[in-house]
């Protein structure tokens, strides 16, 4: 069978010769030739050579080797012992900056601690409450005015702010002004209820995902799958099996390069409930991190050091945001910075309040934050993409954005891009859709 007809000047590599010396086993080594890389037998009379063919391995006329090949041993590089992975512990919580204290109740108010088991609360049904004297009551909130002391949310000096009745979580302390008795002996109709203290809520807990650890260790993991319509994240393995990794989470993203990869998984945002995200290492161990009570999470990311960063915003109409940091070296969660929309006002101009969404953090001599924004009032997405340059160490106890941020750069104006926005695992690139409102979509 003729497998090719190389040119007379094509270079070839020799691999063997027949015992009769009339045929040579060769490979065409001529880049650009249509036969480059082709292996076959060629008659010696058709060749020109400048080497000693007698040194080539001998083959019989049927193409079988006279002497079996001695396979070249494959040397496996010495495997270094895996570095021990630091054992995770529940992070400590750094003390928060001092906040303004709510005023004392007025003469018409009573201090109560709310009961129940629903987060968020359902203000359309009576809520149980326990007064400071130990008596219990059921609060009817059909027409009640709900307020919260803004100092609880990082505002200084603090004022009463309108709030949703869904923030009346179990364990919350509040001042209650009663209008009249209700339909039962322990039921009261509430005129006004003011939140003065959030419930005690753990900020993090340890989690373990052996399904992820086994898939990574056996190198069978192919992809992580989820749905925009349903909660749940699944591991797709090379055998075609699909295993559920988590139930409540809806999306997942790898952080950092392969040798330092971790996984961040987010639950759907809840406007008035308990918000959280999960951070998991390749060995399956990780942390479930909760937002503070009455706060939403606006983006959570990891950095190259194995630390975590996330932004929280109040679940009330307040122009306020907080940047939180998990320091993996000392296992501590701290409030790193807080600010408002003034940080994103360019050249002294005026604009509507915006909510920042954290996309990426790069560490070095300074920190660099990549932040998208949402117009708070209209909830207009993609309202400006920014890079914030920030001091590595907070100066003293001042955690304000004015003290920490050294430069604000607008990378994309509001009308120039659309999402989804995706940052590469190494944090070096951002994928987005270029957008021009004057050109309709196809």
Q: How many domains does the chain have?
A: 3
Q: State pLDDT tens for residues 369-403.
A: 999 999 988 889 999 999 999 887 765 667 788 78
**Domain end (from 178, 197, 216):** 197
Q: What are phi and psi of 118, to 5 degrees?
A: -110, 130
pLDDT of residue 4: 64
Write out pLDDT tens, residues 249-263.
Answer: 888 888 876 666 888
The 10 Å Cβ neighbour count of residue 381 is 14
Contact assessment for residue 113 and residue 173, using Cβ atoms and an 8 Å cutoff: yes
| Rounded-to-integer distance, Cα 267 and Cα 251, Å | 7
Last residue of a domain, which of 197, 218, 242? 197
101 inside domain: no
Mean pLDDT of the chain: 85
Tell me the C-alpha distance between 389 and 405, whole Å. 6
CATH of the domain at 225: 2.115.10
Least confident range of 5-9, 137-141, 407-411: 5-9
Specify the higher pLDDT residue, 202 or 256: 202
pTM: 0.77
Whether 141 and 255 map to the same domain: the answer is: no
Domain range for 55 is: 12-59
Q: Is residue 95 part of a domain?
A: no
Rounded to 10 degrees, the C-alpha dihedral 230/235/297/431 comes to -100
Question: What's the pLDDT band for 11 if we cut at 50, 70, 90?
Answer: confident
Quick check: 349 pLDDT over 80? no
Determine, yes or no, domain membership for 67. Answer: no
């Amino acid at each position: 069978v003729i497998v090719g007809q190389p040119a007379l000047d094509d270079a070839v590599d020799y691999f063997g010769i027949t015992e009769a010396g009339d045929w040579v086993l060769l490979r065409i080594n001529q880049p650009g030739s249509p036969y480059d890389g082709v292996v076959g037998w060629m008659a010696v009379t058709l060749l020109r050579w400048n080497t000693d063919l007698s040194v080539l391995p001998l083959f019989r006329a049927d193409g079988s080797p006279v002497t079996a090949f001695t396979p070249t041993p494959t040397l496996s590089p010495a495997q270094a012992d895996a570095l021990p992975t630091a054992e995770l512990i529940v992070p400590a919580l750094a003390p928060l900056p001092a906040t303004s204290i709510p005023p004392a109740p007025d003469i018409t108010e009573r201090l109560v601690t709310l009961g129940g088991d629903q987060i968020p609360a359902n203000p359309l049904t009576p809520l149980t409450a326990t007064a400071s004297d130990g008596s219990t009551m059921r609060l009817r909130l059909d027409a009640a005015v709900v307020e919260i002391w803004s100092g609880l949310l990082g505002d200084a000096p603090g004022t009463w702010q309108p709030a949703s009745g869904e923030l009346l979580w179990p364990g919350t302390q509040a001042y209650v002004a009663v209008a009249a008795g209700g339909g039962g002996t322990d039921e009261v109709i509430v005129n006004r209820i003011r939140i003065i203290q959030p419930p005690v809520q753990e900020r993090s807990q340890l989690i373990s995902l052996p399904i992820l650890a086994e898939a990574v260790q056996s190198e069978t993991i192919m992809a992580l799958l989820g749905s925009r319509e349903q909660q749940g994240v699944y591991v797709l393995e090379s055998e075609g099996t699909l295993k559920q990794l988590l139930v409540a989470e809806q999306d997942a993203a790898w952080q950092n390069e392969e040798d330092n990869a971790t996984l961040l998984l987010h639950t759907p945002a809840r406007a008035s409930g308990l918000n959280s995200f999960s951070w998991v290492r390749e060995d399956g161990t990780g942390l479930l991190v909760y937002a503070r009570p009455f706060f939403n999470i606006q983006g959570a990311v990891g950095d190259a050091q194995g630390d975590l960063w996330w932004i929280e915003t109040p679940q009330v109409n307040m122009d306020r945001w907080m940047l939180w940091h998990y320091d993996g070296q000392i296992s501590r969660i701290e409030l790193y910075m807080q600010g408002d929309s003034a940080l994103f006002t360019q050249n002294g101009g005026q604009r509507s309040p915006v909510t920042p969404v954290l996309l990426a953090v790069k560490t070095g001599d300074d920190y660099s934050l990549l932040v998208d924004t949402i117009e708070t009032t209209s909830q207009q997405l993609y309202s400006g993409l920014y890079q914030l340059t920030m001091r590595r160490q907070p100066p003293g106890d001042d955690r304000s954005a004015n003290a920490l941020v050294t430069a604000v750069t607008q990378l994309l104006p509001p009308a120039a891009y659309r999402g989804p926005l995706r940052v590469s695992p190494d944090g070096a690139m951002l994928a987005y859709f270029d957008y021009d409102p004057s050109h309709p979509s196809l």
